[in-house]
Structure 1
C-alpha cells in the first residue's frame, strides 16, 4: 500500500512505514509529509497493529531533512511551513503505539527530529545523525525543544549551534540511539524489538508511552512555532539557503 511518497506494509503485528523518495534522500517533501501523516494514522487506528517501524528507502538516507527547494523568505510562508513540518515531526510522539526508527543512513535535520520523536532508535552502523540547520541560518525547531532532555543542555547547544554530524556509535553514546547494528541486519533487529513489544500487555505498553510522554509538547513547541518564522527574514538565512542551493560556502555577516 502506498500513501503519496510513503510505502506502508503490515507484517504480522507490525506496520512498516518506509519514506520512499531515495533520489531526494527521502527529504521532507510534501509527499513524504502527507504520506507519513496518513501512514501513522492508519497504523494507530488498525487494531491488528501493535508496533510501528519507520525507515528510509535506499542505502544512503533515512531522511535528509527539509526539502528547501521551494523556500520563500516571507513570514506567511515561514509560519505555514513551520506549523506543518513541526506537526509532522511530532507524529511519532503523538501516536499511541510504540514507534521504532530504523535509521539506515543520513538522519539530518527533520530526519534527526523524526528519529528522536520515536520511542526507540535502532541505527545501521553507517547511519549519521545531525541538525545542520545552523548552516542555513536556521534552527531545528523540534529538536531544539527536545535535545536538552535527551543529551543535556550543553551537548544540545553544541549539536544545534555547530550543526556537525555524529556517527551512529557517537549517537548511541549520547543516548540518541538504543542499538547500533550491522547495516544488513537493521530491519531484522527492528522487527525483533517490535515482536518483543508486541508480546507484552498492550494496555500497559500504551499507558507507559503516555506517561513518559506526558510532559512533551505544549508550550515549548508552541514557542518554537512562534519564534522560528523570524529567522526566515534574516539576511544570514537568505544567504545560507542561497549558498546551499548554489553548492557553495555561505558568507554570513
Structure 2
C-alpha cells in the first residue's frame, strides 16, 4: 500500500499519509489509484468529517509523478492522459474539508493535491517549486491549480523559474498559499488541531461552506483546465529529450530560496 491512514475516531478526523519516503512520496500509478479510491470511499463514510493529508518523512510532502511511470499518450494534441487528474478530493466529488500538512519539498504534481485542499499548513523548512519548464514540459494543470490560491505574478514566477528557485514557507505564507507556518516537524500536529475543530461543527454546514468557497472560482478553473491538454501536447518536448534534461538536472548549482 502506498497510502497510510490513521483515524482519530473521537475527533472524526482521518490522517492520510503518502507513504513512499524513499521516492520522496512521488505518485506512481498504484498511489494514484489508491488516492482516487480513498476519496470516493470517504464520500460514504460518515465517521470521517475532516481529513489531514501529508507525506511520510521530512524530506518531501510530494514530488509529483514518479519518473519511473510511463503513460502512453493518444496521437492527438487535444487529448492528454494524465494519471494525476483524479488524485485530488474535489476531482472525486468529495466536499469534506481537507487540510494539507507540508514538510520538506512540495513540487510539480504535488500541486494537484495542494490545489484541492481547503488550506495548507507548512513547516518553516518546507519549500515549493515547479520543475516543468526546466525539463521541457508545460506547467498547465499545476499552474492553473496554484492560480486559484496565489497572486498571478507569484504563480508565473514559480512556474517559469523551474528548478532555479524555490518558494520558502515564509514567502508562501506572505502570499496566502500557506495559512500557518510551524516549527520543523510540527505541520501535521497543527493541521490535526485545525481539522479537529472543524470536525466538531455540524457536517451539513461545513460541507456547504466548502462547496460555497469552491464555487467562487469553479467556472474560471474549469474553463482553464479544459485548455490544458492542447497546451501540454503542443508544448512538451519528446519524452527522450525530457529524460536527457532530467539526467542533466537542468543546470548546475543550488536553487535560490526566497
In the superposition, the TM-score normalised over structure 1's length comes to 0.86
Deviation of 1:148 (Å): 3.1
Asked if structure 2 preserves the Cα contact closer than 8 Å seen for 1:17 and 1:39, the reply is no
* 1:222 aligned residue: 226
Structure 1 residue 30: deviation in Å? 0.9
| Aligned residue in 1 for 2:255 | none
Query: For residues 88 and 140 of structure 2, what CA distance do their matches in structure 1 show?
Result: 10
- 1:192 maps to 193
- Tell me which residue corresponds to 2:180: 179
Query: Residues 157-200 of structure 1: CA distance to partner in whole angstroms, max 9, x if unpaired?
Result: 11111122111111111110010101232222111101110122
**What secondary structure is seen at the aligned counterpart in 1 of 2:149?**
helix
Instruction: Tell me how far apart the structure 2 counterparts of residues 190 and 66 of structure 1 sit (CA, whole Å).
Output: 24
Q: CA deviation at 1:74?
A: 5.3
Q: Distance in 2 between matches of 1:162 and 1:240?
A: 17
Cα distance in 2 for partners of 1:63, 1:166 equals 15
Q: Tell me, what secondary structure is at the counterpart of 1:59? A: coil
Give every structure 1 segment of 4 or more consecutive aligned residues whose post-TM-superposition deviation is greater than 6 Å.
none
Q: Is the 8 A contact 1:5 1:19 kept in 2?
A: yes
CA shift in 2, pair 1:74/1:207, >3 Å: closer
1:86 aligned counterpart, secondary structure:
coil
Per the TM alignment, residue 89 of structure 1 is displaced from its structure 2 partner at its CA by 4.2
- Aligned-pair CA distance for 1:46: 0.6
Residue 92 of structure 1: CA displacement? 6.8
Distance in 2, Cα, partners of 1:123 & 1:223: 31
Gaps of 5+ in 2: 253-258
Question: Contact 1:20–1:32 (CA<8 Å) still a contact in 2?
Answer: no
**Contact 1:89/1:142 (<8 A) preserved:** no
CA distance in 2, matches of 1:202, 1:224: 34
The structure where helix makes up a greater share of residues is 1
Q: How is 1:28-67 mapped onto 2 (pairs within 5 angstroms)? A: 28-67=27-66
Pair 33,72 (structure 1): closer, same or farther in 2 beyond 3 Å: closer
Q: Which residue of 2 aligns with 1:158?
A: 157
Deviation digits for residues 49-105 of structure 1 (CA, Å, limit 9, x no counterpart): 0001110011211101121234468555995542x2223246478421000101121
- For residues 1-253 of structure 1, the aligned pairs below 5 Å read 4-12=1-9, 13-71=12-70, 75-76=74-75, 79-82=79-82, 84-89=83-88, 91=90, 94-163=93-162, 164-214=165-215, 215-216=217-218, 217-232=221-236, 234=237, 238-247=240-249, 249=251
CA spacing shift, 1:61–1:9, aligned 2, 3 Å: same
* Partner SS, residue 52 of structure 1: strand
1:14-58 Cα offsets, whole Å, 9 max, x none, are 111110111110112112211211222222321010001110011
Question: TM-score w.r.t. structure 2 length?
Answer: 0.84
SS of alignment partner, residue 64 of structure 2:
coil
C-alpha separation between the residues in 1 aligned to 2:14 and 2:57? 19
Per-residue deviation, residues 101-157 of structure 1 (Å, max 9, x unmatched): 011211011113311320010101211111111111113332322333422222221
Distance 1:247 1:227 in 2: 24
Return 5+ residue gaps in structure 1 as ranges: none
